[in-house]
Amino acid sequence: MPQNASRAAGRHFLHIPGPTPVPDRILRAIDTPLIDHRGPEFSALARRALDGIKTIFKTTNPVIIYTATGTGAWEAALVNTLSPGDRVLMVETGQFASQWRNMAQKLGLVPEMIPTDWRVGVDPAAVEARLKDDKAQTIKAVCVLHNETATGCMSDIAAVRRAIDAAGHPALLMVDTISSLASVDYRHDEWGVDVTVGGAQKGLMLPPGMSFNAVSDKALAAGKTARMPKSFFAWEDMLTMNRQGFFPYTPATNMIQGLVVAIDMLHEEGLETVFARHERLAEATRRAVRAWGLEILCRDPNAYSSTVTAVLLPEGHNADAFRALALEHFNVSYGASFGPFAGKYFRIGHLGDTNDLTVLAALAGAEMTLSLAGIPHRKGGVQAAMDYLAEAHAKPERAAAE
């Protein structure tokens, strides 16, 4: 550390929508001494991880674990199921949907994007209409985000599946759950998803560097004829070794130690309780934003995200300057803005190992920064969030008394 560096007292409040803070229990697991990744101890550990992660995706089919960020799992989903020149249908819900489209283009696929204004989720009717127009069934996959991290808009995946079925179209359904997995109810098997992409650094409470593909039987069958080049991401190589409790290359052994503990922690809390906690914190955040008199970027209440809320600032006020001021004065980090809204909003992440008090701290930091920055707003956002949270906690007690 430079001699003239100043120390900030207390903890850093990381309220970007991922990576999220890593609990001490998971850090301790990752800190476990290294073991032989070709030995019996690791095989037992890997089997626990491979079986356990299925319960998070709610699938009985294989889930493939990659030593890569979610971007790698995007690529794995595409290259294991498709062939050069294949058409894929996507929906422009925001920055990350756009990046997945860009990747498809670079890989030699032909993506078609259904546009939006970045303030809504996927419209299943638009997907159905486009697939019905595809009389020759040249579209081989529909790729959508469950939760668009850049905008705080969530999509109804079960409805997208129904739209594909209503169109009578054989396209694969691929879903990105990177900022929703282990935070919001998700059902890979029940919703008929063919490839679900997940990441470790958000709801799973791990550091970046691990991602997943949950795969259906239909996706595995598509993989038999897919002609996209692949090596590191090849499903068949992974599945062959996974059956023995191993990987075809050196895996992130200590991340797998952490993953096993993360899965245990989620089940100890109870997945339904985890989902309810995230929605409670999201609603508290939205109530604060409305009390401030500011606008939520997601304009469809049915699409509000349970993991991240994007807050539009009034015209003439720069969100990047706001974020810098918050970090400087209150040691809190908020998420950046993108695309046509760059510099116009900031994002409050309320996912992962967080609770009422940590989110209230993030809201307090935001309200104080609004004042410091001279941004027009009403006072009382934090109070509105506190009132809601107190009431939410009182309801179960009242129900028990009755």
Annotated binding-site residues for substrate read 347
Pick out the residues of the known binding site: 347
Task: Write b or e for each residue in 43-61: b if 16 or more Cβ atoms lie within 10 A of its Cβ, otherwise e.
Answer: eebbebbbebbbebbbbeb
Give me the amino acid identity at 40. P
What backbone phi and psi angles, to 5 degrees, belong to 401?
Answer: -70, -35
* 393, 350 Cβ separation under 8 angstroms: no
Q: Are 283 and 305 in contact (CB under 8 A)?
A: no
**In the structure encoding, which two tokens stand for residue 299, read together?**
């304009």
Identify the bridge partners of residue 147 per DSSP, sorted by sequence position. Answer: 154
Please enumerate in sequence order all residues whose Cβ is within 8 A of that of 221, keeping only pairs 6 or more positions apart, or say none.
none
- Helix H or strand E encompassing 112: strand 110-114
* Gap between the Cα atoms of 355 and 344, Å rounded: 27
* Cα gap 323→103, rounded to integer Å: 29
